[in-house]
Structure 1
């Protein structure tokens, strides 16, 4: 597996390193640690760097920035080398989100790891601008780190029967997750049976009986939906639990996470209702934006 780690030296970047180390990835994993020297390009290809002083001064400033960036990469690179994996480092210049996405493509990364916020992001916003753009536009799976994690004990895996949630389950098995991880599978039913309550009827008892039967049938179908993936994890020795939720998926996943207290929430980039032309589904976006926990968004293998 090839993993690109983007860092700006912030506290949240350190959370990304700790989460990856907690996953206990195999030594054949290949890491690339990168940082981006921010550089805005104006119309005509002009940058502020081009307007500062003479050529010699610009070259000196450019060299100083690159040296500072290279020093920034030393700590995370050394931390990842301690896992036994091979590690490369690279410094890019330009728009941070664009450069991260471009480097992920060139590196053929299976996963991009970023902190939820950068040094310049406001505390008022739950997700920083770079993380948000990488999450939305990257063609590869993305880990958004929000906590310092020493061990992966609890994992919440959202399942909806789509190829994207299947890909999420397969991604975790291929990592693989540490065997001590407790994996909680959740699915959320957005049924229309509740509308029966609002329908005019002369026999409320019969109406309630039909509603209860439909709920039971739905929940059985939901558990059957999860059964295949659950069995795959049990066959590998993981301790598992299945929960059927009822309501809007993103809201229910976020609510359930407060009870489960996972070290990691994992879900597919899109669900059954996702439109193929969209790069990221609304459920994945909302969970990643408002979760208090680290979130792994898995793209379909065909992405």
Structure 2
């Protein structure tokens, strides 16, 4: 995996901004981040022509006011940072499109966006960014606290699960050997009775194969001495995402890391159903959707639409 040298932090002048800025500082400290773009996207800056003729500096002053507000909020958290370039960008238009275009132009390694629960907001932008971004995406719910002592990594032992595990190991290693819990959610196929086995017997068979696959999976990864605990969860109601969220809360995880499927133009929209549902339904813990930088070629087509 790679260091987070450049990142975008999406701000909107809501109380959530402070949390996002704190996470940006937390991430930057262990990654030796060089440049952060704090971005505020305004949906509509249109002003009647007659008003602009009377007040020609109106939009310029509005943008300046937004930038100054961001600078003030960032300074309260970062203080006088001399080793990081802090940039303040105000854009007009669609949030996800503007962020994606900026991310591509600046070749950023991570986008940080908030997840609102009590504050007004739809959460649609996070899903769009996860589908299209050519870098990792960190989704931070309201009132989250930046800390890393225990990380949950849901895994089906695929290549994109490996991306997530390697990212978790790198993060845990930089944060004082935090613990990683690797969760595999399995279910018993509906046709199990044709095998002549009981439900309980087939449950044992499914878990045994999950355990074997985990050993093969982890053998190919440099764990850097990090403690990784595998757990196996049987999904009884065809809702693996609920099992993941429940387990994360049970073990008091500080965050969840999952890999995105889409790596090419052909798969750009497919981050995986589990990742999509986690983005939609997880409103309790920070969620990092990992994608190796630059692997999503579909972004180029999307930018042409802007």
Q: TM-score range by the shorter chain?
A: 0.7 to 0.9
Whether 1:244 aligns to 2:232 is yes
| Equivalent runs, 1:1-303 vs 2, <5 Å | 1-23=5-27, 24-39=29-44, 48-51=46-49, 53-57=51-55, 59-78=56-75, 79-80=77-78, 82=81, 84-117=83-116, 121-122=120-121, 128-146=123-141, 147-174=143-170, 177-192=174-189, 195-197=191-193, 199=194, 207=198, 210-211=201-202, 214-228=205-219, 232-233=222-223, 235=224, 237-247=225-235, 248-270=239-261, 276=267, 278-291=269-282, 292-301=284-293, 302-303=295-296
Q: Distance in 2 between matches of 1:106 and 1:50?
A: 31
Q: Distance in 2 between matches of 1:180 and 1:174?
A: 9
Q: Distance in 2 between matches of 1:296 and 1:195?
A: 35
Q: Distance in 2 between matches of 1:76 and 1:191?
A: 51
RMSD of aligned C-alpha atoms?
Answer: 3.0
Instruction: Classify 1:121/1:82 alpha carbon distance in 2 versus 1 (closer, same or farther; 3 Å).
Output: same
Match of 2:191, SS state, is helix
Q: Distance in 2 between matches of 1:83 and 1:294?
A: 28
Give the gaps of 5 or more residues in structure 2.
297-306
Of the two, which has the highest radius of gyration?
1
Q: Distance in 2 between matches of 1:92 and 1:30?
A: 18
| Residue 94 (structure 1) shift | 1.8
TM-score (normalizing by structure 2):
0.78
After superposition, the C-alpha distances for 1:207-246 in whole angstroms (9 at most, x for unaligned) are 46852552353232243144237x633x2x4333221122
| Residue 196 (structure 1) shift | 2.1
Give the gaps of 5 or more residues in structure 1.
40-46
| Residue 284 (structure 1) shift | 0.5
| Residue 19 (structure 1) shift | 2.5
Instruction: Classify 1:150/1:111 alpha carbon distance in 2 versus 1 (closer, same or farther; 3 Å).
Output: closer
After superposition, the C-alpha distances for 1:257-299 in whole angstroms (9 at most, x for unaligned) are 121222211001139xxx8353422110111221111111112
Match of 2:278, SS state, is helix
Instruction: Classify 1:195/1:14 alpha carbon distance in 2 versus 1 (closer, same or farther; 3 Å).
Output: farther
TM-score (normalizing by structure 1):
0.79
Runs of 4 or more above 6 Å deviation: none
